[in-house]
Structure 1
Amino acid sequence: MSIGRRDLMLAGLGVVAVAAGRRTAAASEEPDLPQPFSTYGIVPGGGVDQTASLQEAANKAAASGTPFFLPPGDYTTSKLTLQSGTEIQGVPGKSVLHYNGGGALIAIANANGIRLTGLTLAGEAKPVEGGALLIAETVKGLTLSDCQVTGSSADGIVLRKVSGRVADCEFGDIRGGGLFSEDAAGLEITHNSVHDCGDNGILIWRSEVGEDATLVTANRIERIAAKSGGSGQNGNGINVFRAGSVMVTNNRIADCAFSAIRANSASNCQMIGNSCARLGEVALYAEFSFEGAVIANNIVDNAAMGVSVTNFNEGGRLAVVQGNLIRNIFFRKDADSRGVGIAIEADSVVNGNVIEGAPGYGIVIGWGRYLRDVSVTGNLIRDTHIGIGVSADQLAGTALIAENLISGTKDGAIRAMSGPTAVGPDLATSGAEAYRNLVLSANVAR
């Protein structure tokens, strides 16, 4: 095939056109930006305070509807206030906002449609005047994704009356709580890493008892301390308080000073499919004035107690505890020694759980007079001091204990309890005729 002069001329023009296009792109003000985005003239400033220029860029982004792209680099700033419609995108781990005092690093109030992606909020361990590096109040449609929140001397982020999504973010090296939500209006917290927090990992609270319906799913939570002290209000991977209908599912939670999941006065809470390890107190806790808890298909390995559904004296009742694997339970080194696999009190079913290795009881049913309508069936209990302990108080309600397999106990398979003390013979062999409130059937003890 021959190539004519005209073909050569056209090919040459094509090369010139491509080269010209490349020179134009190279000379453009904002090359290689995701479209449509603008830097609004912002460049990294190192240690120079850039609050004014960053605030102006954020305002322009909100007004124009063109997202603000924050190039990789370090930016020193005091509080930035974001308006409705603001979208800021950085490069994950490389677009770093360094806190320089003056309230929260980012503040959002009475706004809609805020999106922050790929930003690092670095507190530098400086005193945080606003209580958190990011505070959002009364915000509809907040999205935080691929962000890092680190080095806060208070909380990581605080959300009040917020709907939206926090996903694929990292919270670490935080003195207080990693993520605190109060009075959520439709919130999803998913696929985040929360680690090395001083008091709590994720907190879902309401100012008054009510339905919340936050979804807390597939997060990894590790190394949560209780630096502010207390008897359980701190030191939890996930802390649910007064918030109803919260779903806590498929999370990995480990190395917490107190609980993996602690639900206080939180009705209709579901704790399903979580993997929990190395907890200093009760791993999965439903306590105080709640009605309704489902604790199912979780793994607990190494805790002072596996599951506790308690405080019938304050209205705590109505639960299903099913299909959990609980092992390696221990006594704490204090007066509140625990050493129990599952403790239950009122209007509840305990079915199909496997408990292995508890120095106290495998399952405790009731406490003194606080026992009503509990069914404990089809559980496997191995290598415990006592398999099942059940309150025989004269004021206690009815318990059904049936078709459980109990092996390797040191002091009886099923024992009546007077307070914390086992009394009388092993009911698995002697029967429960002496106790008007107990029904035993087809249990196997060996």
Structure 2
Amino acid sequence: MVLSRRNVLAMGLFGTASVVLPAHAQSRSAASGPLGHLGLDAGQFGLRSGAAEDQSRQLLAALKQAAARGAPLLLPPGRYRIGGVNLPENARIAGVPGETHLVTADGQPVLIAHNLARAELSGLSFDGLDIPSAQRIGLLTAQNVGELEVSGCAFAKAGSVGLTLDRCGGRITANRFGNMRDAALFAIDSKGLSVEQNRVEDCGNNGIQIWRNQPGDDGSIVRGNHVLRIRADAGGSGQNGNGISVFRAGGVIIEGNQLRDCAMTFIRNNSGSGVQMLGNQGRRCGEVGLYSEFAFEGAIIANNLVEDCAAGATMTNLDHGGRIAICANNIIRRVKRADMPYTKDPVGGFGIHVEAEAAVTGNVIEDASDAGISLGWSWGMRNLAATGNVIRKTGIGISVSLVPKERNALIANNVIAEARDGAVIGTEYGKPVTGDLTKGFDSKAAGVVVANNAVR
């Protein structure tokens, strides 16, 4: 009989596998355990599912044996109380998805990976029992791991964060995160991390966070995740309530994610240069759907669909260095000025807002309470272009700030329909100071070129 992984799994994998081993494999069983070259059965080291006592010592002994032999450690179905187990180099743990539960023994991390070249975990369910823990402590906490692979795992009821990564690379793929007091995943100073095809639900403050201690190139990819129902329990003016949060991390690609019901923002980039938000879909958030703010350069927001927000997309804060942006080919619908807990005044009401060295092109914006496109705010307005957009059912079609003495803007070849307060209007601090600039030149708007717009 030829032994294969499928043969063993079909006959029960845990407990009866030894009876199907061929003679030459049985001869090695004393050295490698009853599962032969497939891995070591953790039960052979005294690990017992359902035991009331802490099983950390038994798990650590099993991990060391498996790593020494270059074999994965196989955890049978069941519940195991585990606390603070440090993974050895090249640790590989495989559980049965939805059936192998690692329950925190003391409210602290279940597993810790520290200064490793590689570690791999799959099919494990981590349960934090909703015991409060210190800020950004994860059920799985990793520091300085070159290649960390976490796939097909579940993280539930974390007292702070489900998965915390510090200076790690690797792939976090097809996991489930639910009912976190703070966030699902917090990664800082990553090394080319990929976060893909995960499901994140019901988090207290943020969903997925990609941060750096200092601004710099991060290179992380956040792709194809479902992020649902993110609250802002800790309040604040934007640091909480975000589906995907980027802080100081440059070169991050955020692509093809589905986001729903975020208290503040679907995707927020604070001070990350070269960040791209591509092909994401978001419905229902309390503030700006897609946000690039403060000290960023080179932001791209393209091919996204955003609906039911206070504002659609914002690329702002020239006063902190926020500049160089493309906002293209997005569909933005149903944006309405709304009250925010951090300010006395309502905010938003616009589809797209940009401030410096920015091109707004090819977007379709419908049903914006205040303005379809907002070019500049106060003195923060420099070198802007709004071309080839379709804008319908708004207050103002396109508003442009006339506060700065020197200004340079092009508003051309747009289709603007049913703009209640005018197709293109010059403003000062948000208040109209010109008539409709598509109907004639106004000296107040010197430096703003308005041409070839189709207005109805």
Check whether TM > 0.5: yes
Query: Aligned with 2:61: secondary structure?
Result: helix
Match 2:41 to one of 39, 42, 61: 39
Q: Are 1:301 and 1:327, in contact at CA under 8 Å, matched by a contact in 2?
A: yes
Contact kept, 8 Å, 2:84 with 2:110, in 1: the verdict is yes
In structure 1, the partner of 2:416 is 406
* 1:100 shift after superposition: 1.0
* Matched ranges for 1:22-421 at <5 A: 24-25=19-20, 35-40=37-42, 41=44, 42-101=47-106, 103-128=108-133, 131-334=137-340, 335-421=345-431
Question: Which amino acid in structure 2 is aligned with residue 108 of structure 1?
Answer: A
Return the offset for 1:49.
2.0
Partners of 1:368 and 1:396 within 8 A in 2? no
Matched-pair contact (CA < 8 Å) for 2:218–2:250: yes
| Deviates most, 214-223 or 50-59 | 50-59
Question: 1:441 is matched with which residue?
Answer: 451
* Greater Cα shift, 284-293 or 47-56: 47-56
Distance, in Å, in 2 between the alignment partners of 1:198 and 1:95 is 26
Where structure 1 has 5 or more consecutive residues not aligned to the other structure, the ranges are 1-20
Counterpart residue number, 2:9:
none
> Could you tell me how far apart the structure 2 residues matched to 1:328 and 1:412 are?
19
- 8 Å CA contact 1:369–1:396 kept in 2: the answer is no
Deviations for 1:75-117, whole angstroms, at most 9, x for unmatched residues?
Answer: 1121111011100000011000011116311111101110000
Aligned to 1:17: none
Amino acid at match of 2:125: T
Letter in 1 for 2:379: R
SS of residue paired to 1:152: coil
2:422 and 2:51 mapped to 1: Cα distance? 69
Q: Who is 1:16 aligned against?
A: none
Q: Displacement of 1:434 after TM fit?
A: 4.2
Q: Which residue type is aligned with residue 20 of structure 2?
A: A
The separation in 2 between residues aligned to 1:314 and 1:66, in whole angstroms, is 52
Structure 1 residue 438, shift from structure 2 partner: 0.5
CA–CA separation in structure 2 for the residues paired with 1:84 and 1:32: 23
Letter in 2 for 1:147: C
Tell me how far apart the structure 1 counterparts of residues 188 and 36 of structure 2 sit (CA, whole Å).
Answer: 35
Q: Which moved more, 1:319-328 or 1:38-47?
A: 38-47
How far the C-alpha of 1:337 sits from its partner, in A, is: 2.2
Q: Is the 8 A contact 1:25 1:31 kept in 2?
A: no
* Cα separation, 2, equivalents of 1:24 and 1:316: 66
2-structure distance, mates of 1:66, 1:394? 66
Conserved 8 A contact 1:380-1:405: yes
Deviation at 1:432, TM superposition (A): 4.3
In structure 2, the CA distance between the partners of 1:432 and 1:22, relative to structure 1 (3 Å rule), is: closer
Distance 1:397 1:266 in 2: 26
Q: Secondary structure at the match of 2:112?
A: strand
Determine helix, strand or coil for the equivalent of 1:359: strand
For each residue in 1:276-317, what CA deviation from the matched residue of structure 2 results, as whole angstroms up to 9, or x when unmatched? 110110000000011110000000011100000000111100
8 A Cα contact 1:309 1:316, kept in partner: yes
- How far apart, CA to CA, are the structure 2 residues paired with 1:326 and 1:93? 38
User: d(CA) in 1 for partners of 2:34 and 2:326?
Assistant: 55
CA drift of 1:171 comes to 0.7
For 1:37-77, what per-residue CA distance to the aligned partner results, in whole angstroms no more than 9, with x for missing partners?
A: 11141341343321111111111112121110000111112
Distance verdict in 2 for CA 1:399–1:195, change over 3 Å: same
Once structures 1 and 2 are overlaid, which stretch shifts more, 414-423 or 332-341? 332-341
In structure 1, distance between residues paired with 2:17 and 2:41: 21
> Does structure 1 retain, via aligned residues, the 8 Å contact 2:248–2:271?
yes
Q: How much is the aligned-residue C-alpha RMSD, in angstroms?
A: 2.0
Q: CA deviation at 1:32?
A: 9.1
For 1:22 and 1:379, the matched residues in 2 are separated by 64
- Residue aligned with 1:321, SS: strand
- In 2: Cα distance, 1:395 partner to 1:310 partner: 19
| In structure 2, distance between residues paired with 1:203 and 1:115 | 21
Question: Aligned partners of 1:262, 1:359: CA distance in 2, in Å?
Answer: 22
Residues in 2 aligned to 1:250 and 1:52: alpha-carbon distance in whole angstroms: 42
SS at match of 1:84: coil
d(CA) in 1 for partners of 2:74, 2:94: 5
**Separation of aligned partners in 2, 1:395 and 1:325:** 33
- Amino acid of the structure 1 residue aligned with 2:408: T
Normalising by structure 2, we get a TM-score of 0.90
- What SS is found at the alignment partner of 1:424? strand
Deviations, residues 235-275 of structure 1 (Å, cap 9, x unaligned): 00000000000000000011000010000000000000000
Deviation at 1:158, TM superposition (A): 0.7
Deviation readout 1:129-179 (Å, 9 max, x if unpaired)? 582211100001110000001111111111010010000001110001110
Residue ranges of structure 2 left out of the alignment (5+ in a row): 1-15
Contact 2:48 2:55 in 1 (8 A): no
Distance 1:114 1:368 in 2: 51
Q: CA separation of 1:424/1:81 partners in 2, compared to 1, >3 Å: closer, same or farther?
A: same
**Identity, % of aligned pairs?**
39
Matched pairs, number: 426
Q: Which residue identity lines up with residue 193 of structure 2 in the other structure?
A: L
Q: Find the aligned partners of 1:272 and 1:420 in 2 and give their Cα distance.
A: 29
> What is the CA-CA distance between 1:424 and the residue it aligns to?
2.0
102 and 360 in structure 1: CA distance in 2 versus 1, 3 angstrom threshold: closer
1:10 aligns to what? none
